[in-house]
Amino acid sequence: MNNYMSRKKMARIITVASGKGGTGKTTISANLGVALAQFGRDVIILDADIEMANLELILGMEGRELTLHEVLSGKCDIHDVIYQGPSGVKVVPAGIKLETLKDADPERLTQALSELLTLTEILLIDAPAGLGKDALAAISAAEEIILVVNPDVSSLSDALKTKVVAQKLGCKILGAIVNRVENTQAEITAEEISAILEIPVIAVIPEDRNIKIASIYGDPLVLKFPNSPASIAIKRLASTILGERIVEPAERASILKKLVKGLLRRK
C-alpha cells in the first residue's frame, strides 16, 4: 500500500479558474501540480476542462482510457483512474463534463470524490473557462479558488464576474495570478488588478516562450526548463500556497547585502 493511500486526511481543494478561456489555467494547473509534488506534497489534478483537454498533453501522459466517467458508471474503481505523472503528481481525467456528473449515481459520485480526498493532500481542479454550468460545478466544488487573469481589460472584467459568483458560492478566493506579463505600457499592472478585483495577486507569471517549447517535448515547463522565468514564478506560487517561503538567489543576495551593510555600520 502506498503511504498516501494509508493516510486518511481530507485534502485541500483548490480550483484554478478564470473568466475567459486561454488565460493559462491548464498550463498553471499542470506546472503548479508538479511544483507542489516537488515540494513533497501529494497532489491530484482533476482534469475538468473537457472541451480543451490538454492537461495530459502538457504532462506527457495522454491516451488514458479510464476516467472518472467509468468510475461513475461502475466500470472501474477510483484507484484505476489515478494516473502517475512526472515528479509523482497524479492526474484524474474527468472524462465527462462536470455538469453531467450530477446525473450520475450520487452515491457513487460522493463515494468516488470523498475517497479521492482521502488519497491526497491537495486536489487541484483545472476548471473550464467562463460561468457555464460546468465551470460553476468546478467552482462550487472548491474551498479555495485561484483566478488566472491576463493583464488586459477583457480578461480582467471576465475575472471580476467569476470572482463575484465564486464569492456568492461561498468559496474562499486565495487570490489572482497574473499570467503572460510582458511589462509593456499597455498592460494593466498587478497592483491595478489587485485593486479592481479586491483580492491579492499571489503570483505574476511572465510571458515565457519556453512554455511552448516544453509542450512540444510533452514535458512540463518546471521540469524541462526549471530556471525559466515562468518556472521560477510557478515554484514561488507553490511555496506561497503551502505557506512556505523559499529564498531565491537574488533575494538571498539582497539579504546578504543588508547583513553586510549592517555589519559594516557597526564597525
Q: Interface with ligand ADP by CB under 6 A: which residues?
A: 18, 21-27, 49, 52, 54, 129, 179-180, 205, 207-208, 211-212, 215, 230
Q: Is 63 left (phi over 0), alpha (psi -120 to 50) or beta?
A: left
> Which range, of 12-20, 25-33, 66-74, 165-173, touches Mg ion by CB under 5 A?
25-33
Residue 259 lies near Mg ion (rule: CB under 5 A): no
> Which range, of 21-29, 107-115, 131-139, 173-181, touches Mg ion by CB under 5 A?
21-29
Select 55 or 71, whichever has its Cβ closest to ligand ADP.
Answer: 55
The contact pattern for Mg ion, residues 45-84, with x = CB under 5 A and - = no contact, is ----x--x--------------------------------
Q: Look up cell 477510483; give the residue.
A: 78
Helix (H, G, I), strand (E, B) or coil at 5: helix
Answer with the entry of ligand ADP, Mg ion, none that 93 interacts with (C-beta below 5 to 8 A by kind): none
Q: List the one residue out of 75, 69, 70 whose CA is nearest residue 98.
A: 69
Q: List the one residue out of 177, 47, 54, 183 whose CA is nearest residue 125.
A: 47
CB burial class (10 A; 0-12, 13-18, 19+) of residue 103?
Answer: exposed
Select 44 or 214, whichever has its Cβ closest to ligand ADP.
Answer: 214
Q: Look up cell 458508471; give the residue.
A: 73
Answer with the entry of Mg ion, ligand ADP, none that 230 interacts with (C-beta below 5 to 8 A by kind): ligand ADP
Select 88 or 206, whichever has its Cβ closest to ligand ADP.
Answer: 206
Dist CA 69 CA 109 (whole Å):
10
By CB under 5 A, name the one of 18, 26, 31, 215 that touches Mg ion. Answer: 26
CB 181 within 8 A of CB 200: no
Angle between helices 153-168 and 133-141 (to 10 degrees): 60
Residue 23 lies near Mg ion (rule: CB under 5 A): no
Select 22 or 74, whichever has its Cβ closest to ligand ADP.
Answer: 22
Answer with the entry of Mg ion, ligand ADP, none that 156 interacts with (C-beta below 5 to 8 A by kind): none
